[in-house]
Structure formats: C-alpha cells, structure tokens
Amino acid sequence: MSQLFEPNRALSREARIKNMCEYKELCIQADEDFEGYWDKLAREKLEWFKPYDRVLNDDNAPFYKWFEGGKINVTHQCLGRHLNSRKNKAAIIWEGEDGQRRIITYLQLFYRVNRLANLMRNKFGIQKGDRVVLYMPMIPEAAFAMLACAKIGAIHSVVFGGFSAEALRDRVQDAQAKLVITADGAFRRGKPYMLKPMVDEALKEGCECCEKVLIVQRNFEDIEYVRGRDYVYNEIIMQESQYCEPEWMDAEDPLFLLYTSGSTGKPKGVQHSSAGYILWAQYTMEHVFDVKENDTFWCTADVGWITGHTYIVYGPLAMGATTIMYEGVPTFPDVGRWWSMIEEHRVNQFYTAPTAIRLLHKEGADAPSKYDLSSLKVLGTVGEPINPDAWMWYYEQIGGGKCPIVDTWWQTETGGHMITPLPGATPIKPGSATFPLPGIKAEIIDEYGNPTPRGEKGFLCITKPWPSMIRTIWGDPERFVKSYFGDCKKDGKPVYFSGDGAMYDDDGYIVITGRTDDVINVSGHRIGTAEIEAVLGHHENVAEVAVVGRPDPIKGEGIFAYIVIKGTDSISEEVYMIQELNKLIVKEIGNIAKLDAIRFVPGLPKTRSGKIMRRILRSIAKKEPITQDISTLEDPSIVEKIQNLVQF
Ligand code: WTA
C-alpha cells in the first residue's frame, strides 16, 4: 500500500470543497435526489436565455437528454456574461514558441470572436447546425474559431494538427464540413512547419461538401491559394462588425464533434451537447483545480484533443479564469521552457500528461530547481496512468511538496473529469485517481454487474447518465449504443462501459489498470490497433498484420506490429519494409501512430475460427510468459516461433 499525502491545510481552508465530509455530503445529496442535484447546479452555474422544462429525460436511453426545453449559448456563457465584471481581465495569455506573447482580455476576445462569427455567417453562409472543421496550430485563433462556431450554433470539429491529410479528409467527409479553418502553419522545435498544404491535399478528392477555407497567417511562409475557395483571415477579419447576436441554442443542440479511436473501424465522431457539456466543463474547472479569481491556469494539451477543448478553452473561460496557451514543445529551447513559463506568468494551476512529466524528468531532472515555481497551488495529470516515480518527482520538484496532484481520469466521451481527487479534500496517493466526483456514479463491476472485491480487476463503468456525456456518434447511433452500452450491465440494464479496466485498492481507492480493448495509449493519445492494421494491410507485401501495445518507459505504450510478409525474406528487404511501412502510417494517420517495433513473423496465433489471439501477442511483446491456453490454436507451434523472433 503506498503512502497517503494529506491535502495542504492552507489550501484546504480556502478550497471550495474543504474536506472529505463535505465531499461525502455532496455524494449523498446526489444519491438521494439525483435530478435535484443536477438541477441546482444547472440553475446556479449557467445563464439560461430560457429555463429548461425537464432536468433529465431518459425515455429513450441511452440517448439521454439533459435540460430539455432550455435555451443557452455556450459562447455567451464563456464571454458575454463576464463583460460586466471582467472585461479587462486577461482571458487568454498566449506564448509562441519563438517567444512572442499576446494577452487577450475578455472584451478583446469577445470582439474577435464576434468578428469571426460574423465572417462565417455573412461571408461563408454558415448556419446553425453546419459543421466546421478546424485544423489549427496552438494559436489564439484556434480558440476564437471554436467560440465563433458556438456563437452562431455551428458544430466545430477540431482535427489535431499532427494528423495527416488523409486523416483530415476522413473527418471532413464524415462530418460533411462546409468550411475548414486552418493556418499557414506555426513553429515547432524552432522551425516553421506547415498545415495549409495538408488541407490542400485533403480537399483534393471527395470533399465537395467543403466550399471555403479560411487561413490564419501565423508563420507567414509561402502557401498556395485556390481562387474562390481560400480566404486570408488577417486580411478580411477587420471588415466585420465586432457585435454579433448569439444563436439561441437548445440545451441538447450539438456543440462539437471530436473524432477519437475505438477498438474497431475508423475513428468515431463523438458528439457533445451544449448545456450539459459546458456545465461540467465549468464545474470541474472550478472544483478540481480550485481556481480563484486572480489565478492563472495552464493546461499544456493541444486544442486538438478533448483536454484542450475542456481545460484550455471552455472550462477556464466559462468560469471567467485566465488560461495560458503555448504553441510549441516543452523542450525548446531547452528542458526548462515550461518551468520558466510558470515562473514568468506566476502560474497557479498546472495540468499536463504523465508522458511529458516522464520526459522532462529524464531529460532534465534538475532543471526545475533553477526556477521559482512557488506560485503553483495545484498540479494535475491526465491521459494515462502515472507511475509512482514520475508522480514523486512532479510532487517534490515541481510542486515543492505542497501542491496536491489531481490525477484526473476521464475520456473524450465523458466531456470532463469523472474520477479525480479534490485538491482541498482528498488524501492522495501516487497512481490512483481516487474517487468519482459527486453525482458521477463510476463503479467497477464484473461481468454480472456486481462490484468487484478490493484488489480484483473489473470493468470501469458509469452506471448513471451525467450531463456532459457523449450524446451519440455522429451519423451512427447504432455504433454509439454498441460501443458504449453493449458490454456491461447492472441490474439487467446496459450501463456505460469506458473500455478501461480498474480496481479498488486496499483503501478503496480507484486504480486505473488501462484499456481492456484494442485501443493503445501512446503518450496519452488514443490509437486504435484496427486503424493501424488497416493501413499496414494496404501495403502490397503485407499478407497479415496484428498490432499491439507494449509498455514504454516514456510514452506509456509503444506500438508493436507483427507482420506476415509476402514475397521477401532477406534482411535488407526487411529494413526497407520498416521504412516503407512507417511512411505509409505517417501518410495515412500521422506521426503519432509511428511504429516503435516491427517483427516479421511466419504466421499469427489464430483460433480455429480465424480470430487472432492478441493477448498472446501482447504477452510476447512484453516478453512475459504465456499463461493462456494455446492448445485451441490452429497451429500452437507458431507461439514459440514468434517468441524466438521477439527475444532479440
Ligand atoms: C486513459 C483523455 C489512467 C484511459 C482525457 C481513457 C487515463 C483514455 C487517465 C481516454 C488517468 C485518461 N489515469 N488512464 N488519469 N486519464 N486515461 O479520450 O485509458 O484521449 O480511457 O481522453 O485515456 O483518452 P482520451
């Protein structure tokens, strides 16, 4: 049993939730009057244009509806309503990798968002419900674009800038987007990199839906323009009015789509709602980071992921906080970059991924001591399990032993935090996300729906709906039901299954044990093995392929591919193939899905019905002994042959 760290007393005294009694009291309230609990929050936290008629409609479960009948505008919640009290407060503090800085106040942000909203509405004819794809670097215009969409009721779908042209094309097509907003490019590791050429490539084929492209100039490198399609933001934005009427949105109208990987098939467009999503973004921002009026909050994610959506843009702005946005990598010009930014901006809450912590620990364990990090009050992690070593370094060297670490478990589909410590209340321990937030019914159950005993792994489920939950998969409601409500049941009723395994430890703390499906978590990014296999399978020399995750000291997991090759057996050919296959991956998906290891094998372990036994392949990749029964395999001898090939 690992050590418990009690909350910092001074922080607890000032915190919104000050101790475990208060936490439990809230949990009891939510248990006793579930709808009343959410009703109170929605009335207190959100500014409604028209009040809702019903808190929760579960008539058509799992297509739950929250706050039906209510009218709201998320951008008004994030900007307009703050103008009386915070118009001159910094909303976004942006730092370019090259050292450029921009500070945008709430009033300035309001004007910029309105201008862009008007441009989309008037010049590009974007209407409520239309989809707009954003393929942006980490510049303030990415946030402007998200909020401008929300202002006019357009549904944004941000595509991470590290995805390839092909991946971008898939998403534009699936969402049938009318407009793409992008940038010429940005800076990374001290050099310009380009995005616009990827957009050109993506739109070359099969994207007739997309009529216009808006380009923000950031690095001012030369790019090509398509007449009548491409517009330069910097040249035309000032022609638009700085006032714009917000669209009155139904509580359940979609706010955005965000594509994420599942265990099968292509990435799916996770659809989020307006009211429920923003309620939880704001509530968790306030309570999990305990942000105060004069604080500066920094989440290092990219806006292309859910963490960037909820904790760089929507959460901080909904509560009226100051959010930092950084363009580049943590190691430029050196490993002290983030720590120098914390010192410079007097950052109070800092939120990052275990991969980054491990990297900065390995590359520059002493770097933090050169900076004054005393402004920090709360540290957070997200995206993957954090190992005790990295946790301790973060706690001691970054937090000075006085900042609680909130290890937040959640997913693209949950919209915001689900299981996490509360900084003023929860005694924390390395490697545990601790307890569910009040109102969130996260449970670990077995295949019969019974809670698992302490120390035993089970399925991590959320057994009651919650406001910020995924509403559906864009264009594929059946897949939504099957993917999330098909595997686990409680009291005979389907419940939301996260895809993660977890267990209660000896103290009843929740420990996440990782995905139970065929999704790999590389540097905190979700990648479906099926997507990678589909790409590799396209290569003319690949007969069969199976991809699994393998533990990696920095990235959490690395991608390990077993390939049955046709037409070659010479080593030089294999080296060539490795390069070829990685090129293919980068072209079809992007750099994040590059293979860490490839083994060319004579066959794959399959059952007699042809199913690949991935658990065996996972064990082999980890060099673990095989515990599964292999006698049912079509050819049991293949296991030893593969093992011998992997041993070197
Ligand atoms: C994993 C990121 C352990 C988990 C917000 C989940 C975590 C997936 C944690 C979702 C954590 C997220 N500890 N594992 N604190 N947080 N995960 O959709 O496997 O990109 O299912 O959302 O990341 O990844 P996604």
Structure tokens at 173: 């097509």
Instruction: Tell me how far apart the alpha carbons of residues 329 and 554 are, in angstroms, rounded to a whole number.
Output: 16
Give 564 Cα–ligand 1 centroid separation in angstroms.
32
Q: In 451-538, where do the E strands start and end? A: 458-462, 472-473, 488-490, 493-504, 510-515, 519-522, 525-528
- Per-residue model confidence as pLDDT tens digits over 63-100: 999 999 999 999 999 999 999 999 999 999 999 999 99
In single-letter form, the type of residue at position 16 comes to: R
Q: Which residue among 411, 483, 496, 523 has the greatest number of ligand 1 atoms within 8 angstroms of its CB, and so is best to mutate?
A: 411
List, by residue range, all CATH 2.30.38.10 domains of the chain: 442-515
Q: Which residue among 409, 522, 523 has the greatest number of ligand 1 atoms within 8 angstroms of its CB, and so is best to mutate?
A: 409
Name the nearest CA neighbour of 121 among 147, 154, 146, 77. 154
pTM greater than 0.90? yes
Instruction: Tell me how far apart the alpha carbons of residues 171 and 158 are, in angstroms, rounded to a whole number.
Output: 9
Is 102 part of any known ligand binding site? no
434 CB within 6 A, ligand 1: no
Closest ligand 1 atom to the C-alpha of 498?
A: 21
CA atoms within 13 A on the CB side of 327: 27
Q: Whose CA is nearest to atom 5 of ligand 1?
A: 411
- Do 156 and 189 meet the contact criterion of CB atoms below 8 Å apart? no
- Per-residue model confidence as pLDDT tens digits over 385-437: 999 999 999 999 999 999 999 999 999 999 999 999 999 999 999 999 999 99
- Do 428 and 505 meet the contact criterion of CB atoms below 8 Å apart? no
Q: Which residue among 261, 382, 522 has the greatest number of ligand 1 atoms within 8 angstroms of its CB, and so is best to mutate?
A: 382
Name the nearest CA neighbour of 463 among 487, 493, 483. 493
> What integer pLDDT is reported at residue 568 of this predicted model?
62
List, by residue range, all CATH 3.30.300.30 domains of the chain: 521-645
463 CB within 6 A, ligand 1: no
Give 373 Cα–ligand 1 centroid separation in angstroms.
27
512 CB within 6 A, ligand 1: yes
**What value does the CA radius of gyration of the chain take, rounded to a whole number of Å?**
24
Closest ligand 1 atom to the C-alpha of 433?
A: 15
> What integer pLDDT is reported at residue 646 of this predicted model?
82
* Distant-in-sequence, close-in-space partners of 434: CB < 8 Å, separation ≥ 6: 407, 419, 420, 421, 426, 428, 509, 510
Name the nearest CA neighbour of 513 among 431, 598, 405, 407. 431
* Distant-in-sequence, close-in-space partners of 194: CB < 8 Å, separation ≥ 6: 184, 185, 219, 221, 223
* Distant-in-sequence, close-in-space partners of 395: CB < 8 Å, separation ≥ 6: 5, 379, 401, 403, 405, 430
306 CB within 6 A, ligand 1: yes
156 CB within 6 A, ligand 1: no
Is 261 part of any known ligand binding site? no
Q: Within 10 A of 52 (CB to CB), how many other CB atoms are there?
A: 22
272 CB within 6 A, ligand 1: no
CATH code of the domain occupying 33-329: 3.40.50.12780
- Do 592 and 635 meet the contact criterion of CB atoms below 8 Å apart? no
302 CB within 6 A, ligand 1: no
Kindly give the parts of the chain with pLDDT less than 70. 1, 568-572, 648
CATH class for the region spanning 521-645: alpha beta
CATH class for the region spanning 442-515: mainly beta
Helix (H), strand (E) at residue 71:
strand 71-72
Instruction: Tell me how far apart the alpha carbons of residues 279 and 498 are, in angstroms, rounded to a whole number.
Output: 21
Q: Whose CA is nearest to atom 10 of ligand 1?
A: 411
Q: Whose CA is nearest to atom 12 of ligand 1?
A: 383
Give 425 Cα–ligand 1 centroid separation in angstroms.
23
Is 191 part of any known ligand binding site? yes
* Residue 143 dihedral angles phi and psi, to the nearest 5°: -70, -40
Give 410 Cα–ligand 1 centroid separation in angstroms.
5
List, by residue range, all CATH 3.40.50.12780 domains of the chain: 33-329
